[in-house]
Amino acid sequence: MSVASTLTEKAFADRRRGEWEELDALTLEARRGLKKLPADDVLRMSPLYRSVCADLAAAQAARYSAPLVDYLLGLTAAAHTVMYGPHARGREDGRKGRVRHAWLVAFPRAVRRFKREMLLAAALFFVPFALGCLLTLRDPTFAFRVVPEAMLRPLTEAYAKGFEGGREAGEGAFMAGFYVYNNVGIALRCFALGIFGGLGSAFYLVQNGLSIGAILGYVASQGAGENIVVFIVGHGSLELGAIVLAGGSGLSIGWSLVAPGDLPRLVSLQQRAREILVVVAGAAVMLFMAAAIEAFWSGSSAPREVKVVVGGTLFLLLVAYVLFAGRGETEPDDAGRPS
Amino acid sequence: MSPLDTDVAIETPEHIVFHYRVAGPARRALGHVLDLALCYGAVVVLGVIVVLAALGGGIDSGEIGSAAKAGFGLVLLALFAAQWIYFVVWEAVFGRSPGKMAVGLRVVTTSGRPIGWRAAALRNLLRAADLLPVGYLVGVVSMALSSRFQRLGDLVAGTMVVVPENARPARALELSPPAEPRELRELPEHIALDADERAAIELFLRRRHSLGQAREHELAGMIARTLGDRLGYAHRDPSRLLALVYDRAVNAGRLEAPPSSWYPKAKADRSAGAGRP
């Protein structure tokens, strides 16, 4: 241990204290964002931070006492938080381009890339859906095992009435709020519970498929089948599609945990989650759109032919978007991906 | 000073190693309760406003107006925001939600950097899994099993919740009263203490004034005898012996060392020759 040419702790602290206190003051001021500081202070901050970092290294090398080292650690840590803080990143170049890229390229690509999981999710949803529908058509009381009777009866009456009266605007706004709260919540939960090896997502998909199928079958068995199909056709492709995509994303993170390949399980999970997040976000946006359509259009008094044509067009557009959007575009550098 | 097992070492681009203290479940729960109170408090206030407005309108028109229904739609949207958006936005923009701010917590990535939108979204989406089956049981189990108190959301997003600490500067230890030549005469010129010994003596010297005199002597006596034997040095007062030994071990030979840490005569030569660095 050679300390012959180093200062004593007291002399070191006395000499350097000025800069430490300056950095401390600047850090405190910059807590609310580096941008709020005057330009001169911002310029001063960086060299100050580096020189205090050097002091810390010197203090550790010279084996100064723990309180001094702790103080410098605290000081540099606080300054580090400001220097590398969310404010400091500022406007990343092309953030707008990034959002556009996410919708036009990244989202449909991610769906295609994980098509195995998405198709499995679709099967987990639509097979119980068809089953629930068919079983209920054969025996309407089957629906009561899946969905409470108290909920089914008023629903049926509402559909039986048809849409001649339309919906008043306030009612529509209320329903929009409800659809967002309920449906987006279900989709996000359906994704999150995929962490348990995909089982949570699978459960949600099957359960939702079965009950929606049962409702459809029951309403149809009571003679309002045409009405409910006309109601669903407008927003159905977005809404059911989004649930399937969210569930597929959940299956995907679950599978990345079960079969991580060459990676450690945690790393595999983290990577997959970052890749699949765009699909979850896309599903959420689809559900917002579906909520608006369902609240203000599906229940409106527009003629049923128009509703069917609009719904069909939307379905075709959605399929084309997921299948073809973003093909042939070059992938930009993905800075956020962990190496 | 060996780091506790709640410490996480982070190396920055400047090659500085920080030790962050990871926050435990109790403190995080407190922060979370504050956040919940804030969120649902806001939702309830909004709901009450809508109800009052509806009642006010209802007396006039005799029925619950369509505006009131729209108002309840707004309440549901607020509920959605409280569940899924509130935490994401606060943590992505400020690195902490108001509740975390109140109890002094911050969310950082496992490499010590502030979290971005993606990490904030992931860790809060996975909240839905962590709060199962009741009261964040899954999250607490996950925290207990992970080395950094991470709930599932933290594991997936690669984040952790830390307690940023701000230490105040402590004065460097000084030998007081200054050593007398009599005391220094027999003190060995070179004293080597290993890191543990230094840390222990330092801790003692910083705290000795808060101890009673008898306790001070008792504690110092435990180590002073062994140390004195090793160095071939004896002093009446074990506490003073530790102070002298520490002063010499730490300061002797350094620039601007106080006179007490060196032979008075040798020190005079040294300070003349050392000059300014």
What is the pLDDT confidence band of residue B168, given thresholds at 50, 70 and 90? Answer: low
Mean pLDDT within B214-223:
87
Q: Based on the structure, what is the number of domains in chain B?
A: 2
Residues B140 and B252 reside in one and the same domain: no
pLDDT for B62 beyond 50? no
Task: Give A256→chain B minimum CA distance, Å.
Answer: 11
Task: State the DSSP string of A93-152.
Answer: TTHHHHHHHIIIIIHHHHHHHTHHHHHHHHHHHHHHHHHHHHHHHH-TTHHHHHS-HHHH
pLDDT for B3 beyond 60? no
In A105-134, the residues whose Cβ lies within 8 Å of chain B are: none
pLDDT of residue B123: 92
pLDDT for A250 beyond 90? yes
Residues of chain A in contact with residue B158, where contact means CB-CB under 8 angstroms, are 270, 338
pLDDT of residue B231: 81
* Residue B40 is assigned to a structural domain of this protein: yes
- Interchain contact, A170 vs B152, CB within 8 Å: no
Q: Residue A114: exposed, middle, or buried by beta-carbon count in 10 A (0-12, 13-18, 19+)?
A: buried
What's the domain range around B28? 7-163
The three-point CA angle B16-B21-B26 to 5° equals 165
pLDDT digits (tens, 9 = 90+) for A7-30: 888 888 888 888 888 888 888 888
The number of helices, as runs of H, and strands, as runs of E, in chain B is 13, 4
Residues B17 and B99 reside in one and the same domain: yes
What is the pLDDT confidence band of residue B61, given thresholds at 50, 70 and 90? Answer: low
Interface test with B, best of A34, A70, A71 (most B CBs within 10 A): A70
What is the pLDDT confidence band of residue A81, given thresholds at 50, 70 and 90? Answer: confident
pLDDT for B260 beyond 70? no
* Residue B168 is assigned to a structural domain of this protein: no
Q: What percent of chain B has pLDDT over 70?
A: 84
Going by C-beta distance under 8 Å and a sequence separation of 6 or more, which residues neighbour residue A104?
Answer: A325, A326, A329
Q: Residue A304 is encoded by which pair of tokens?
A: 């049923």
In A191-250, the residues whose Cβ lies within 8 Å of chain B are: 191-193, 195-196, 200
Distances in Å between the Cα of A267 and the Cα atoms of A16, B108, B141, B243 are 43, 17, 20, 51
Instruction: Say which of A176, A191, A336 has its CB closest to residue B125.
Output: A191
Shortest CA distance from B248: residue in chain A = A8
The three-point CA angle A38-B114-A264 to 5° equals 160
Q: In this structure, what DSSP letter does residue A217 have? A: H
Sheet architecture: strand order including B7-11: B7-11, B17-22, B159-163, B106-109
pLDDT for B43 beyond 60? yes
Interior/surface letters B69-84, b for 16+ CB within 10 angstroms, e for the rest:
bbbbbbbbbbbbbbbb
The residue extents of the domains of chain A are 9-89, 96-324
d(CA A280, CA A127): 22
Region of poorest pLDDT, from A1-15, A24-38, A88-102: A88-102
d(CA B228, CA B135): 58
Count the neighbouring beta carbons within 10 Å of the beta carbon of residue A115: 14
CA A41 to chain centre: 38
**Does the CB of B117 have a partner CB in chain A at under 8 Å?**
no
- Interchain contact, A181 vs B1, CB within 8 Å: no
Average pLDDT score, chain B: 80
Mean pLDDT within A182-196:
90
Task: Give A169→chain B minimum CA distance, Å.
Answer: 7
A300 or A61, higher pLDDT = A61
Task: Give B267→chain A minimum CA distance, Å.
Answer: 13
- Interchain contact, B256 vs A84, CB within 8 Å: no
- Interchain contact, B65 vs A174, CB within 8 Å: no
**Does the CB of A267 have a partner CB in chain B at under 8 Å?**
no
d(CA B227, CA B113): 45
Region of poorest pLDDT, from A71-75, B70-74, B257-261: B257-261
Cβ–Cβ < 8 Å for B118, A277: yes
pLDDT of residue A123: 92
What is the pLDDT confidence band of residue A2, given thresholds at 50, 70 and 90? Answer: very low
Cβ–Cβ < 8 Å for A306, A234: no
Residues B113 and B80 reside in one and the same domain: yes
pLDDT for A3 beyond 70? no
A31 or A276, higher pLDDT = A276
Average pLDDT score, chain A: 82
Going by C-beta distance under 8 Å and a sequence separation of 6 or more, which residues neighbour residue A146?
Answer: A132, A210, A211, A214
pLDDT digits (tens, 9 = 90+) for A115-144: 898 999 999 999 999 998 898 888 888 888
Residues of chain B in contact with residue A168, where contact means CB-CB under 8 angstroms, are 66
ipTM of this complex: 0.79
Chains A, B: CB contacts under 8 A, how many?
Answer: 190
Q: Residue B31 is encoded by which pair of tokens?
A: 């922060």
Interior/surface letters A279-317, b for 16+ CB within 10 angstroms, e for the rest:
bbbbbbebbbebbbbbbbbbbbeeeeeebeebbeebbee
**Does the CB of B116 have a partner CB in chain A at under 8 Å?**
yes
B9 or A286, higher pLDDT = A286
- Interchain contact, A8 vs B256, CB within 8 Å: yes
* Residue B169 is assigned to a structural domain of this protein: no
Return the top range by mean pLDDT from B212-226, B244-258, B259-273: B212-226
pLDDT for A257 beyond 80? yes
Going by C-beta distance under 8 Å and a sequence separation of 6 or more, which residues neighbour residue B116?
Answer: A86, A89, A336, B92
Distances in Å between the Cα of B112 and the Cα atoms of B18, B144, B161 are 9, 21, 10
Place of tokens 């990143």: A89
Distances in Å between the Cα of B120 and the Cα atoms of A112, B21, B26, B95, B263 are 25, 20, 21, 9, 60
Q: Which of B114, B136, B163 represents a domain boundary (last residue)?
A: B163
pLDDT digits (tens, 9 = 90+) for B108-151: 888 888 888 889 999 999 999 888 888 889 988 988 888 888 99
pLDDT of residue B268: 45
pLDDT of residue A331: 54
pLDDT for A164 beyond 80? no
Residues B141 and B261 reside in one and the same domain: no
**Torsion, Cα of B151, B153, B159, B165 (10° steps):** -50
Residues B16 and B129 reside in one and the same domain: yes
CA B102 to chain centre: 15
A282 or A294, higher pLDDT = A282
**Does the CB of A174 have a partner CB in chain B at under 8 Å?**
yes
Cβ–Cβ < 8 Å for B91, B80: no
Task: Give B172→chain A minimum CA distance, Å.
Answer: 5
d(CA B169, CA B206): 13
Residues B156 and B106 reside in one and the same domain: yes
Q: Residue B48 is encoded by which pair of tokens?
A: 């009450």
Mean pLDDT within B166-195:
73
Region of poorest pLDDT, from A48-62, B216-230, B246-260: B246-260
What is the pLDDT confidence band of residue B1, given thresholds at 50, 70 and 90? Answer: very low
d(CA B262, CA B270): 10
Return phi, psi of residue B11, to 5°: -105, 130
Residues B13 and B124 reside in one and the same domain: yes
pLDDT of residue A312: 86
